Each structure stands twice: as C-alpha cells, then as structure tokens.
Amino acid sequence: METLSPQTTRLRHDAFPAMRADFINPFVTATVRVIATMAGIEPVAQRPRIKADQRSYSDVTGLIGLIGEGVEGTTAISFHASCILRIASNMLGEEITNLNHQIEDAVGELTNMISGAARADLETKGYSFQTAIPSVITSKGHSTMVVTRLPIVQIPFVTPNGAFYVEASLNAAT
C-alpha cells in the first residue's frame, strides 16, 4: 500500500460521486487523533478505496449505525489481532495477549470515540444525526456483511503492529 501524508489522504469531493468526501474525511481525522491520543500510536492512513463487495475480514470489528437529519449510513472499524492487542494494551496500561472482553470493550469505546469525533466535525458542516450503540464482533477471521445500497469507502491504516480499516458508507438522507 502506498503511504500518503494526511493532506493527500483527504478525499476529493469528486472522487466518489455517490458519497461526498466531506462525509468521509472527518473519519480519517478522528481515527488518527483518537488512536494517537488513547494508545500513543500514530496510525498512517493509506489510499481510500471503494470496496468491491460488502464483506470485511478481520479479527475484531466495531459497527455503528448513523441516521438523522441530512445523513445516513454505517461505519465499521476492523482490526487485525496484532494491531488491536497493541492498541488496547497501550490504552489500558497492561499487556493483553488474547482477544477477550477487554478487547471488545476497547473496540466498542474506540468505535464510539471515533464516530463521536467525526459526528462533531460533520455537525459543524450542518449535518445532525445520532448513532446507535456499537456492536462488536470478535472471532479470528470473521466476516461481517453490512447491508447497504451505498458504496462503502474503506480507508486502510497501518501501525507498527499491523493494519486496521475504517469503512464508511454515508450519504445524504433522502
């Protein structure tokens, strides 16, 4: 994967015509800020891409729905085990070596914090919406299927301990 600077990682408004870039960019910014603050790890965003299908493969995924005045969709944050074990260990100040309830709690909290920070940014642009309580799926090599009519933008992030992915499927509510 090509590593991009934060400035070039930002999506152009015309890059994904069915989904406005100003819906996605707040998630990139929020992800970097939250992971750096909570875990002391600087994730590096890679080139965003439209997923070819609706499946995600990872070890732990936090999912959250978004709906309200002006915007609707879903967000998922999927981690490979090595990555989330390091992030959660740093967050909790203790070494965690297995995917367990502490990992599920950490992923749920990260999902809330990242979506909350992105939501706050979107609200400054005139969008108002609420989120549900995140769902967390933990199972080595699991797949999740998000049912949506909208394209799914996947933003890979790399860390020294592996990769994780933020996926957003957002659009103006009709």
Structural domains in the chain, sorted by start: 6-10+17-171 (3.40.1550.10)
Cβ density class 124-152: b for 16+ within 10 Å, e for less:
eeebebebeebebbbeeeeebebeeeebb
pLDDT, block means (10 residues), the chain with 174 residues: 37 45 83 97 92 78 83 86 97 96 96 92 82 85 67 91 90 61
Amino acid at 91: M
pLDDT, position 11: 41
Burial category of 18 from C-beta neighbours within 10 Å (exposed 0-12, middle 13-18, buried 19 and up): exposed
pLDDT, position 24: 78
Percent of the chain with pLDDT over 70: 78
Residue with tokens 């090599």: 141
pLDDT, position 106: 97
What tokens were used for 35?
């992971």
Question: Cα separations (Å) of 59 from 41, 96, 110, 141, 174?
Answer: 19, 15, 15, 5, 34
pLDDT, position 173: 57
